[in-house]
Amino acid sequence: MLGIWLESGRIEVRRKLQLPERPVGEALVRVLRAGICNTDLELVKGYYPYRGVLGHEFVGVVEEGSAGLVGERVVGEINAACGACTACGSGRATHCPSRTVLGIVGRDGAFAEYLVLPEENLHRVPKEIDTDAATFVEPLAAALAIQQQVTIRPDDKVLLLGDGKLGQLIAQTLALTGCELLVVGRHPQKLALLSGRGITTGTAEDVEAGAFDVAVECTGNAEGFALAHRSLRPGGTLVLKSTYAGKLALDASALVVDEIAVVGSRCGSFAPALRTLAAGRVEVESLIQARFSLQDGLEAFAKARERNCLKVLLNIGEI
């Protein structure tokens, strides 16, 4: 099969990849669409020593599996857990120490014509959701995870730092709470998308120190972390939604003295994301800025690296 392969920091389109074997309990999925995200770009830079097919945001059709699944359009949760360890038994399967992660850890990903995932990871896509839009389920689930971890009230002042692909989805989902939201970014074109939805946007100069109840850091850089911390009132909550390259210096004493709660936030549940998309409560089509065939995968990655680019999709198959 055809796929985009990463090895030693280099990506290439390989035309004779082995079709994935389907273990017991897993389904063979023919990929229709896949989205390039920042994690894919960071893996190429060496964020994690991964070797294999990249990609974890996808929608596809089940080709082989249980009778009730075959032929269904599906998306899939990316963590494949063992189901037997303490973490799995306590409902923390995304922290299973022996898990594989689609296109990230020990499992070939979605930038190929076929993939395999445990059937329990798959979710049917409602007919109301377009195939292109369904590629956003995974990052939308990550955005909604914030509200599963932190209670956001209508009278809360919330700061979101970052206007990129994930930041756009977080902004839309936070706006649904009715909170007083300010989104800060560096890209006028991206901020304009949010302003057009009635979301207040600004720059770092608009952030008042100690004025916010919750700050969500989605820039992945030290400046963003420092600004998020500085923006919070004592007793506020700092949500970290990005990983950081290298080591991050922070004033731990200030976090303690001001009793700041620090929350790491990663993956989210797919069911709420599917409901939100099906109900039309968030808009994702305008975030798609380019589409490429799988054969043109290198050009797709080049486009995704551009400073002002949001979502790049790979058109891999058709129903």
> DSSP 3-state assignment of 248?
coil
Task: Please report the DSSP string for 294-315 in residue order.
Answer: GGGHHHHHHHHTSTT--EEEEE
| C-alpha dist (Å) from residue 58 to 7, 135, 250 | 21, 5, 36
Label the pairing between strands 157-161 and 180-184. parallel
pLDDT at 48: 86
Q: Which phi and psi angles does 171 have, rounded to 5°? A: -60, -45
Condensed to tens digits (0 to 9), the pLDDT of residues 33-54 reads: 999 999 999 999 988 899 999 9
CA distance 241 to 239: 6
Does 5 or 319 have the greater pLDDT score? 5
Q: What is the per-residue pLDDT for 56?
A: 97
Cβ atoms < 10 Å from Cβ of 264: 10
Q: Which of 178, 184, 175 is nearest to 205 (CA)?
A: 184
Which pLDDT does position 250 carry in this prediction? 85
pLDDT, tens digit, for every residue of 126-163?
A: 999 999 999 999 999 999 999 999 999 999 999 999 99
The reported pLDDT for the residue numbered 249 is 85
Quote the mean pLDDT of the chain: 95
Show the domains of the chain with their CATH numbers.
Answer: 3-136+284-315 (3.90.180.10), 140-264 (3.40.50.720)
Give backbone dihedrals phi and psi of 203, rounded to 5 degrees, phi first. -120, 180
Q: How confident is the model at residue 307 (pLDDT cuts 50, 70, 90)?
A: confident
Q: What is the pLDDT of residues 239-251, one digit of tens each?
A: 999 877 677 888 8
Q: Is the pLDDT of residue 301 over 90?
A: yes
Q: pLDDT category, 2, cuts 50, 70, 90?
A: very high
pTM higher than the cut 0.75:
yes
Q: What is the mean pLDDT of residues 19-32?
A: 97
pLDDT per residue as tens digits for the range 172-211: 999 999 999 999 999 999 999 999 999 999 999 999 999 9
User: What's the token pair of residue 42?
Assistant: 């960071």
Which residues in the chain belong to E strands, given as ranges?
Answer: 3-7, 10-14, 26-36, 52-53, 57-64, 73-76, 79-80, 100-102, 106-107, 114-118, 122-124, 157-161, 180-184, 200-202, 212-217, 232-240, 261-264, 288-293, 311-315
Query: What is the pLDDT at residue 245?
Result: 67
Q: Contact 159/137 with Cβ under 8 angstroms?
A: no
